[in-house]
Structure 1
Amino acid sequence: MPRPPPGEAVSWIAYRFGGGLIVVWAAATIVFFAMRLIPGDPAEAILGGPGSQASDEALAHVRREYGLDDPILIQYGRQLIRLVTGELGMSYSLRESVSAVIGPLLLSTMVLALSSLLVGWLLAVFLTLYSTRGSRLSAVVGNALELTAASLPHFWLAVILIVTFSTGLGILPPVSTGTWSGLVLPTLTLGIPIAGFLAQVMRDAFLDALESPFALTSRSRGASPTRVRLVHALRHAAVPGVNLTAWAFGYLVSGAVVVETIFARPGVGRSLVKAVLDRDVPLVTGIVLVTALAYVIIMIVADGLTRVVDPRTGRRS
C-alpha cells in the first residue's frame, strides 16, 4: 500500500488543524454572546446570585473589577485573548480555577463517552453481521433492531435499564458509584442508540461490498465466505461508520447531559447545566471550549482512520 507523499500529509494536517481552530473560535463566540442573552446580571452571579442581596456599591465594584461595564466588543476581545493564552479564568460560583474544576469532570465524561462509543461499535458490528447473513428472517429482525435502537430516547432507555437491572434484578447500581459497575448502565444508555445509527449505514455498505469486484475475486481465488465477510467486506463497511464517529462523539457528549443527571454521575454535562443556571460565564465557556477541542481531536483521528481503512479517501481529499 503506497504511502502518501510527506507534502500531502502535511497539507492534510494543516487543513484539519485550521478547520479545528475555526470550530473552537465559533464555539467561543457563540457561548460568549449566548450567555449575555440570559436574563440577569453577571455581577450578581459573582456575588452569590439573586439571593445574596448585594448592595449597589458592591455590584458596581464587581463590574469594574471584572470589566463588565466595558462595551460588549471589548469584553469579547479580552475573552479571546485570555483563551488564546490558555487562561480560562475563575469560576464565579465555585471560586476555583476553571481548569482545576474541568479536569476531573472532563475525565469522567470522556470515560463515559468513549466506553459508550466502544459498546456502540461492538453492537453495530454484531447487528451488521447478523442482518447480512443471507436469510430473510435475519434481515428483518436486524433491521427492526437497528431502527428500534436508533429511535430510543436516552431518558426512556435509562429508566428501562434502571427498572430492569437495578430494581428488578438488583445486579447493577441505579446511580454512579465510582466503580465499573456504576458505569455499565450509563454506557448502555448512550451506546445502544449509537449502535442503531452505525449499524444502519454499515449494513448497506457491507451488502455493497459483498457484490463488489474485490469480493468476487476473493471468492474465485478460494477464499471462504467467512473470510470474505470478516476480512474484506467488514473492512469496507467500517468506512461510513468511521466517518460518523466524530458526529457520534458529539452526540454522546450532548447525551451525557441527560444521562449524567439521571444516574447522578459527575461530569461536564451536569456541571454545564448548573453553570448556565448560575450564569457562571467562565465555567460555561471553559466546558464548551474543552468539549469542542475534544470533538475536533476525535474528528481528526476519525478522518485519519478513514484514510488508513480506505486509502482511496486520501486520494480524493
Structure 2
Amino acid sequence: MTSLASAAAAEQGVRRRRSAGRAARWIVTRVAGAVFVLWAVATLIFFGIRLIPGDPAEAILGGPGSRATPEALAQARAEFGLDQPLLTQYLHELGRLATGDFGTSYSLKVPVAHVILDGLGSTLLLTVLSLAVAWLLAIGLALWATRGGRIAATVSTVLEIVAAAVPNFWLGTILILVFSVGFGWLPAISTPGIPGLVLPVLTLAIPLAGFLGQLMRESVLNALDAPFTVSARARGESETGVRLIHALRHAALPAISLSGWAFGSLISGAVVVETVFARPGLGRTLLNAVLIRDIPVVIGVVMVVALVYIVVTIATDLADRLADPRLRAQSSSGGGS
C-alpha cells in the first residue's frame, strides 16, 4: 500500500514538473516572439519613414514652411544625429528603444512618452468599446439568422457581407450625414461624453461585426447538429438554452481566436475614424507625425501599438484555452505547447 502511494506521489510530481516545463516553454516562446515582433516593427518603421520625401530637420525647425536657413538645418541635423550614417542612427535608435526611451518630438519639443500617454487612453477606449459592440452585433446576427428562418438567414447574410465590405471612412461619412446632419441626434465631431462616442464606435464596430457574424453563423449552424447539442436536447433543455449555453459557446471559439487580429484591425482603423470625427488619440497623432516627418513620434506610437497588440494576442490565446476544454486537455496531456 505504501509503495502504491509512493508511486502515485512520484507520478504526480513528474506531472507537475512536466506542466511547469510546458508553461515555462510557452512563456519563453511568447516573450521571444514579442521581442522579435518589436524589433521587426522598429526596423521597418525606421527605414520606411525615411523613404517619405522631405527632410526631418525641417520638422525640427517648424515644418517645410519655416524657411529655415541651410545653417540652421545643418545645426538641427547635428543636434539630433541626423548627419550620422543611417546604420549608426538605426543602432542608436534601437539602443534607446531597448531602454524604453522614445526620445523627444521634433515638432512638439516634448518627450514622446508624454505625447503617447495623452492619446493612448482615448484610442484604447474607442477600440475596446468598438470590439464589444462588434461582438454584440455579431452574436445578435448569428442567433437571428439561425432562429428566424430562411428570410432571416438571407437578410442577415446580406447585412454581414455589406457590413464587412464597407470602408470606415465611407461609413463614418454616411453616419454623420444621417444622424448628425439629417436627424441632428448626435454630434458630427467627437465630443466628451457618451454621445460623442456613438458614431466613432459604430464606424469601427459595424465592419468588424459583419466579419465576425459570418464566422459565428456558420459555427452556430454546425454546433446545432453536433452530438453535445443533441445530448442537451435529450436532457430536456429548451431550444433557447441549447443555443445560448452550448451552441453559442462553441461558435464563439473561432471568433475568440481572431479577437487579437480584430483588435489590431480596430487600432489601425482608428487612424481613419479619429481623423473623420476630429477625435484626439494615437491615430490622429500618428497621421500628423507622418505628414510632418516627426520620426520619434511615429516610431514611438507604432511601437506602443505593436506592444498593445502583442499583449491582446497573448490574452486572446489564454482566453481561447479557458473557453475550449479541448485545448486545456491537450496542454495538460503534453500534446500542445
TM-score in terms of structure 1 length: 0.95
User: Corresponding residue for 1:128?
Assistant: 142
Check if 1:186 corresponds to 2:200. Answer: yes
* Larger Rg over CA atoms: 2
Superposed, which structure 2 residues align to 1:99-178 within 5 Å? 99-133=113-147, 135-178=149-192
1:277 paired to 2:291:
yes
Aligned to 2:235: 221
Q: Give the secondary structure class of the aligned counterpart of 1:92.
A: coil
| Equivalent of 1:208 in 200, 222, 225 | 222
Q: Which runs of 4+ in 1 moved over 6 A?
A: none
Deviation at 1:10, TM superposition (A): 2.9
> What do residues 269-290 of structure 1 show as CA deviations (whole Å, max 9, x unaligned)?
1111110111100000011000
CA distance in 2, matches of 1:230, 1:64: 64
256, 265, 268: which one pairs with 2:270?
Answer: 256
Q: Distance in 1 between matches of 2:174 and 2:73?
A: 48
What code does the residue aligned with 1:71 have? P
Alignment partner, residue 76 of structure 2: 62
Please list every run of 5 or more consecutive structure 1 residues that lacks an aligned counterpart in the other structure: none
Cross-structure match for 2:323? 309
Q: Residue by residue, what CA displacement relative to the aligned partner does 1:201-224 show, whole Å, maximum 9, x if unpaired?
A: 111111111111111121222222
Question: Which residue of 2 is the match for residue 38 of structure 1?
Answer: 52
Task: Report the equivalent of 1:8.
Answer: 22
Q: Deviations over 1:217-251 (max 9, x none)?
A: 21222222111111111111111111111111111
Query: What's the CA shift for 1:64?
Result: 1.9
Moved more, 192-201 or 125-134: 125-134
Note the C-alpha offset of 1:50. 2.4
Deviation at 1:17, TM superposition (A): 2.3
Residue 254 of structure 2 aligns to a residue whose secondary structure is helix
Shift of 1:109: 0.7
Distance 1:124 1:276 in 2: 34
Structure 1, 6-15 or 227-236: larger mean CA deviation: 6-15
Q: Secondary structure at the match of 2:122?
A: helix
Q: What's the C-alpha RMSD, in Å, of the aligned pairs?
A: 1.7
What's the CA shift for 1:312? 1.9
The offset of 1:51, in angstroms, is 2.3
Cα deviation for residue 59 of structure 1 reads 2.1
Aligned-pair CA distance for 1:134: 5.9
After TM superposition, give the deviation of residue 97 of structure 1 in Å. 0.7
Query: Deviation of residue 261 (structure 1)?
Result: 0.9
The alpha-carbon deviation at position 60 of structure 1 amounts to: 2.0
> What is the distance in 1 between the residues matched to 2:31 and 2:122?
26
Segments of 5+ residues of structure 2 without an aligned counterpart are 1-15, 331-335
Q: Given the two structures, how large is their TM-score scaled by the length of structure 2?
A: 0.90
One-letter amino acid of the counterpart of residue 188, structure 1: L
**Match for residue 91 of structure 2?**
77
Give the whole-Å Cα distance in 2 for the aligned partners of 1:71 and 1:271. 28
The Cα offsets for residues 12-54 of structure 1, whole Å up to 9 and x where unpaired, read as: 2322222222211111111100111112222222112222222
Return the letter of the residue paired with 1:110.
L
